[in-house]
Chain A
């Protein structure tokens, strides 16, 4: 469904991503794990069209989307939940969700209902300003906002960042539920343990390269991964 071939990205003068290739199968959860500065976020930002790649190709559902504008890519059904949530603090929860559906011209009532059933907390707070929500609620809002564009592929950049362990568990169970709704998920995480548990397929990135890959439940047992990322 989604394929990256030989992608290299320069970011602020540094070669942040070097010749990586991977595929994402429809209806699966794929995760990219790795340390700070490994190039995971840059990869996602490039797919979303926020950064232009130097070389390589990105294709989605058979179409080459390399170097296209973000609005085009969102319109094609790829959406990004940015790192650090980046909700709109001075818009209400409802307005945040409506912005998520900005490119759509059809009725969004069903999708609002779907988001509110996933996150009942957001319904209670729909009139509140985004900036007044707690960290966990903001993450829910960021996910809900992304779902409003009715994505086929949802990319999440460190959804567990800065959240309490219990809330992280909630977020991951929601990721599973979103997958059951038929959305393919590409997940970037530093919390390798959680990420590998939910992932169907996992790639390990180091200094801009993919060094290891395999199904999540196999990598979680891999000695090298254990040593480097799981702290065991």
Chain B
């Protein structure tokens, strides 16, 4: 048993190292404008936010829809903290307001601040909201996200948030440098490192005794309470931690996009993330990661041709025009929900053994088909 566990860990480590090695090699060889990098970066960012949502919805059983709001908090915090002080003083970003935040920080401090601000808001909102259950909690958190979005566009907060205008010239991916040098940090690798460390921390949490308590609350609140688990405290803890990482992913998204505007973080974004969690499998970390890369690859890359007049070599400008992609995408989602009703991974994790048995099962099915 112990040996098996060790083998499992070694394989996991090798697989993760291989992914990072592949990212490094790709960044050294491919054109930096390649669409692959867009998919990899956005995929990694969405992996992180999907995993953070899974921590709540899949592991603690709290149906929360506030993710976009916490991402917004993270994105704005990161942008505001890392816009250089002289840019803030000039009219380049804050054209209509006088920015009242006179300092700037590095990217790392910005990321951590982004998480902390999101976590602080989560703590305060959690106090009343986490006493609600299921659908009511979903409505309350969704409402919170919408309110935050409106508040951040409010004139009065202009000296901090720049009102409804764009934030830019902060430390986006092209401006992040290796610590203590001016050498630019490989952007995709940066996203992967931040997202990877964050997801690792969430995995460690889920496998700790706190994680067990979260799952116990998900399975049966009364029984969990009878075991001496303080329901409210643990729900609050899960909510705050999940929001922290949603904030970090919002900061990454800001860095990825080069500009930030509150407008973008609407509830549609939360639904996108929820969709990724459901497709990947509620309660599966690797499922969330796989699903977010698939989702981003489909929507940003593979199905692009459907909007552009030409797809898979078929030119049909009458049919393949703007919006057709979304239609095909919806059909794909319906198929997934019909045939993988518990998501790609269910509540299991990807492992070497599962992968091998899946390959073998696939071979057997093929043989059977051939025999028939």
Contacts and interface: CB of A to CB of B under 8 A. Distances in A.
Question: Is B a genuine binding partner of A?
Answer: yes
Interface of A: 48, 50, 69-71, 73-75, 79-80, 82, 86-91, 95, 98-100, 102-103, 145, 149
Contact of A88 (B216, B225, B228): B216
A90 B212 contact: no
Given A91-B215, A91-B216, A95-B212, A75 B223 contact: no
12 contacts: A50-B222, A70-B226, A82-B226, A88-B224, A91-B215, A95-B212, A99-B216, A99-B224, A100-B227, A102-B212, A102-B213, A149-B228
A100 B218 CA distance: 15
A99 B218 contact: no
B219 A88 contact: yes
B191 to A, nearest CB: 32
A88 to B, nearest CB: 4
Contacts, number: 67
B209 interface: yes
Which of B213, B220, B224, B283 neighbours the largest number of chain A CB atoms within 10 Å of its CB? Answer: B220
B347 A82 contact: no
Contacts of B223: 82, 86-88
B215 A102 contact: no
Contact of A86 (B212, B222, B228): B222
A75 B228 contact: yes
B303 interface: no
Given A50-B222, A88-B219, 19 more contacts: A48-B226, A50-B226, A74-B227, A75-B228, A86-B220, A86-B222, A88-B215, A90-B219, A90-B283, A91-B216, A91-B219, A95-B212, A99-B212, A99-B213, A102-B209, A102-B212, A102-B227, A103-B228, A145-B227
Nearest to A103: B228
A50 B223 CA distance: 10
Interface of B: 209, 212-213, 215-216, 218-220, 222-230, 283, 347
Contacts of B347: 90
B226 A89 contact: no
Nearest to A105: B209
Nearest to A89: B219
A120 to B, nearest CB: 18
B2 to A, nearest CB: 13
A90 B226 contact: no
Nearest to A157: B226
Nearest to B226: A80
A95 B219 CA distance: 12
A95 B215 contact: yes
